[in-house]
Amino acid sequence: MTNVDGSHTSDSGYSLTEMMFVLGLLAVVTTMAVAQINVSKPGLKGDGAMRILLGQLNQARESAITQRKYVRVVLTAPDKIEIVREDTPTTTTRLSTVWIEGGAHFAKVDGVPDTPEGFALGQSGAIALGSAIDVKFSPDGTMVNQDGASANGTAFLAIAGQALSARAVTILGSTGRIRGYKWNGSKWKRV
């Protein structure tokens, strides 16, 4: 085809070489994306488990404050979270029962240390509440044990054998502050 200025152009489109180059580049990028998704999947599942636990703990604390009642938090291995309101000394009401999803459980990963707060030092379990048998949020929002004393604690979450899925949630009893932590392979990062 001849243009107005006398130059020639081709109507043939892309060459086979150009098309093969683009398809090869697309295959490389797709392979990299799939590999990255597979690497990040345990971390995403760990994040989901941590969000469930954070949400339940925040719900329990807010319920205790707004309803002016003690609200118990019952963490049962491998993956059950119950929130129970103490209506009277002998009667209770279950507010919620939730299970952690995505294959994550209350678990510690070998080689992963305690969180910066150190609430689980000297304890081997994934649910570290010191000497507390029973923990609950009081009407003022603090976390206390069965005797009414302030109780600190940490709950560790992970998918078995996958260190990058390790997550932890800590509770500072004297204030009721709840914090989430993510293990990045070398240290805990607060979220």
Torsion angles phi and psi, residue 103, rounded to 5: 85, 0
What's the CA gap between 130 and 77, in Å, rounded?
A: 17
Torsion angles phi and psi, residue 84, rounded to 5: -130, 125
pTM for the structure as a whole: 0.80
Place of tokens 């119950």: 82
Nearest alpha-carbon partner for 107 in 86, 127, 135, 87: 127
User: Which residues in 42-79 are b (16+ Cβ under 10 Å) and which e?
Assistant: bbebbbbbbebbbebbebbbebbbeeebbbbbebeeeb
110 or 69: whose pLDDT is higher?
A: 69
State yes or no: pLDDT of 23 exceeds 80.
Answer: yes
Cα-Cα-Cα-Cα torsion 129, 130, 131, 133, nearest 10 degrees, comes to: 0
Q: How far apart are the first and last CA of the chain?
A: 63
Return left, alpha or beta for 17; rule: phi > 0 is left, psi -120 to 50 is alpha, else beta: alpha
User: pLDDT tens digits for 128-159?
Assistant: 888 788 899 999 999 999 999 999 999 999 99
What sign does the dihedral 147-98-64-172 (CA atoms) show?
positive
What's the CA gap between 74 and 94, in Å, rounded?
A: 11
The percentage of the chain sitting over the pLDDT mark of 70, rounded to a whole number, equals 92
What is the set of domains in the chain, with CATH numbers?
42-190 (3.55.40.10)
